[in-house]
Structure 1
Amino acid sequence: MSAAVDLLTFGESMVSLRSGGPLSAGGRLDMHVAGAESNVSVGVARLGHSVTWAGVVGADPHGEYILRQLRSERIATQHRVDATRPTGVMFLERRTADITRAFYYRAGSAGSTLSREDVDRALAAGPRVLHLTGITAALSPEARQAVEYAAERAAAKGIVVSLDVNYRSRLWSRDEARAVLQPLALHANILIASDDELDLVAAEPLGEGSSDDAESTIAASLLEQGVGEVVVKRGAAGAVVHTADGRIEAPAVAVTSIDTVGAGDAFTAGYLSALLDGGDVACRLQRAAVLGAFAVSTAGDWEGLPNRDELSMLDTTASGTTQR
């Protein structure tokens, strides 16, 4: 029997209010949906896969907006409404052309109350892949327990578990993150991390960054402990995947970068989409790079992500031209 849902994501989505300049100067704010898990959901759904997002929203217009936006992207929602807590909000400030700052108003939010009961309801759909992030584990003790429970239950059921470290320094310290994420990573079939996050899933702390030797050491340790694939994102330098069969590297796709927010989630969406299509590691890495390129070369967390017919656009259309 085939799975009812290709991908299940589980986490908090928020309203994002974006400024084009310093927030202290005032001006227009544009309203968007933000959240690592929902970003991945949109990227995978646009490529034709069935996707369910599970989470909690407040009984407020912000929660209604999030649900409406996700449903407009053909994403099913397995959600709970908490009438006693608000939907989380974040402000994104484009401080300079190269620096964007995030300000969170999510403490005590509805999304932080994710529970084991929410996990049970969501997993009942029998997804092929469950995607989790370290962000959700940082929201509250209850949310952390829910993420751990989700990873354990999905792994026990034979569901592919994808975990993106997605470290957020405004939510917890590196030591706090390491204590939770290192054991959590051992439930993952696919472990995804930026090169400066990989030490957070190492058995021993290795400092702020990871040299190539340290990366290989950490990846080898994770593979020995049962992780199937260790995917390391290197931004403009591309990405690498470590498996028991060796390592495969791919360069980033050359584009004009205008907004890097959401690029890592787009990369993950591409990787998981190609996995769902049956692609090998090289194919997954190539599609991940393409979606990352779409993300950085368009404005918004997910608004510029491609549909399946557009996957070859960056290869077939010369930069700076207009398709006619």
Structure 2
Amino acid sequence: MQQNSRVDVVTLGESMVLFQPTGEKGIKYEPLFTKSLAGAESNVSIGLTRLGKKVRWVSKLGKDPFGDFILATLAGEGVDVSHVIRDEQLPTAVYFKETKSFGDPTVYYYRKNSAVSHIQPSDVCIDWIEGAKHLHVTGITPALSENAAASVRKIMELAEEKGLTISLDPNLRRKLWSEEEARTVLLSLIPLCDVFLPGVEEAEVLVGPHSIEDYGKVFLEMGAKVVALKLGEEGSIGFMEGKTVQAAPYVVHQVIDTVGAGDAFAAGFLSVFLDEQADMTSSSLEKALSRANVLGALATQFKGDWEGNLTLEELIALESGRLAVKR
């Protein structure tokens, strides 16, 4: 397994083995399934690695073939998995995704009592963020259990003490916890983050109905330094103190699979933020949003959570008009 003493980004979260029907009959009738991996933080890890960043993914996996598969896949993508904890008693989680001809895919989680849901604050150590510049977390891991939420808070606090910048994507999952629980925990974490990456629906759940501009103001007042608000088909809008920048959407003509689009958006935004955070201007904020829009949109063109993520070379070619998008 690859080990990097210095990395650009550390992520903490759960990855699961993902099964999808190979045909169009749905889970109930389809006899064959494909196997992959999925998880918001590992999706972002792969996305950033393909964009030339060094990433360390930390988690807790069962000491089982599914855990072996996840580690091998991430290591094969160039992600540092050297700090992952293996548990001999608890399993690696799995989930199933069913894509239909209308609406978002339906997902079925089998993650209760997974290894990472039993992660403890005592598991979190300073070595996880040693040599790193940035920490990325989501609202999914805190939803797994109270101890997982405490573990996320601890690594955020350690990162803040060590001078890392921190990003938080709320990634609201109603199948994992109630809106009230999500609101309480996520609002308590916003003051610890530098970059907050909500969607409009998530913003409304957290602070109620507001105008788009007021969402930016509210989250900045809570302590975030940069807010990147996803607007769906309308693109995205970014807020910093004294700055508001809107980026046009990257238009695609069909949507195959929406799962993973928000993670691709986060990877695109952070890839620019990491390079320009020392002097984040309106121009660099617009660049980050535009790249995020492109990657988020293109992620919907593939059946998979991360497989369609572009490499840096492909992205540069696309941005310069030298790469034709064929679907």
Partner of 1:191 in structure 2?
A: 196
Q: Is the CA contact (8 Å cut-off) linking 1:13 and 1:38 kept in structure 2?
A: yes
Provide the C-alpha distance between the structure 2 equivalents of 1:259 and 1:48, rounded to a whole number of angstroms: 25
Partner of 1:141 in structure 2?
A: 146
Within a 5 Å distance, the mapping from 1:209-288 to structure 2 comes to: 210-211=209-210, 213=211, 215-256=212-253, 257-278=255-276, 280-288=284-292
Provide the C-alpha distance between the structure 2 equivalents of 1:47 and 1:181, rounded to a whole number of angstroms: 28
TM-score, normalization: structure 2?
0.90
Q: Does 1:307 align with 2:311?
A: yes
Aligned partner (choices 305, 312, 316) of residue 322 of structure 2: 316
Identity between Structure 1 and Structure 2 (%)? 38
Provide the C-alpha distance between the structure 1 equivalents of 2:129 and 2:50, rounded to a whole number of angstroms: 23
Partner of 1:55 in structure 2?
A: 59
Partner of 1:179 in structure 2?
A: 184
User: Judging changes above 3 Å, is the alpha-carbon distance between structure 1 residues 152 and 199 closer, same or farther for their aligned structure 2 residues?
Assistant: farther
Provide the C-alpha distance between the structure 1 equivalents of 2:191 and 2:125, rounded to a whole number of angstroms: 21
- Deviation, structure 1 residue 174: 0.7
Coordinate RMSD, CA, aligned: 1.8
Within a 5 Å distance, the mapping from 1:106-145 to structure 2 comes to: 106-145=111-150
Provide the C-alpha distance between the structure 2 equivalents of 1:188 and 1:247, rounded to a whole number of angstroms: 19
Cα distance per residue 1:251-297 (max 9 Å; x no partner): 22112322211000000000111112227211111111121122112
- Deviation, structure 1 residue 200: 4.1
Provide the C-alpha distance between the structure 1 equivalents of 2:73 and 2:274, rounded to a whole number of angstroms: 24
Q: Is the CA contact (8 Å cut-off) linking 1:263 and 1:296 kept in structure 2?
A: yes
Q: Which runs of 4+ in 1 moved over 2 A?
A: 95-99, 114-119, 121-124, 199-202, 215-219, 312-321
Provide the C-alpha distance between the structure 2 equivalents of 1:318 and 1:75, rounded to a whole number of angstroms: 28
Larger proportion of strand: 1
Provide the C-alpha distance between the structure 2 equivalents of 1:81 and 1:121, rounded to a whole number of angstroms: 18
SS in 2 for 1:90: strand
Within a 5 Å distance, the mapping from 1:157-176 to structure 2 comes to: 157-176=162-181
Provide the C-alpha distance between the structure 2 equivalents of 1:36 and 1:124, rounded to a whole number of angstroms: 19
Q: Does 1:66 align with 2:64?
A: no
- Deviation, structure 1 residue 158: 1.5
User: Judging changes above 3 Å, is the alpha-carbon distance between structure 1 residues 122 and 36 closer, same or farther for their aligned structure 2 residues?
Assistant: farther
Q: Which runs of 5+ in 2 are unaligned?
A: 278-283
Cα distance per residue 1:108-142 (max 9 Å; x no partner): 00121222243315534231110000000000111
Provide the C-alpha distance between the structure 2 equivalents of 1:128 and 1:304, rounded to a whole number of angstroms: 26
Provide the C-alpha distance between the structure 1 equivalents of 2:32 and 2:161, rounded to a whole number of angstroms: 48
| More moved, 134-143 vs 220-229 | 220-229
| More moved, 14-23 vs 172-181 | 14-23
| More moved, 165-174 vs 255-264 | 255-264
Provide the C-alpha distance between the structure 2 equivalents of 1:236 and 1:258, rounded to a whole number of angstroms: 15
Partner of 2:98 in structure 1?
A: 93
Which amino acid is 1:255 matched to?
Answer: V
Q: Is the CA contact (8 Å cut-off) linking 1:185 and 1:201 kept in structure 2?
A: no
Q: Does 1:5 align with 2:7?
A: yes
Cα distance per residue 1:227-259 (max 9 Å; x no partner): 101111122211111111221111221123222
- Deviation, structure 1 residue 159: 0.7
Provide the C-alpha distance between the structure 2 equivalents of 1:94 and 1:313, rounded to a whole number of angstroms: 31
Partner of 2:45 in structure 1?
A: 41
Provide the C-alpha distance between the structure 2 equivalents of 1:112 and 1:228, rounded to a whole number of angstroms: 30
- Deviation, structure 1 residue 48: 1.1
User: Judging changes above 3 Å, is the alpha-carbon distance between structure 1 residues 119 and 98 closer, same or farther for their aligned structure 2 residues?
Assistant: same
- Deviation, structure 1 residue 219: 2.2
Provide the C-alpha distance between the structure 2 equivalents of 1:318 and 1:40, rounded to a whole number of angstroms: 24
Aligned partner (choices 9, 13, 16) of residue 14 of structure 1: 16
Partner of 2:280 in structure 1?
A: none
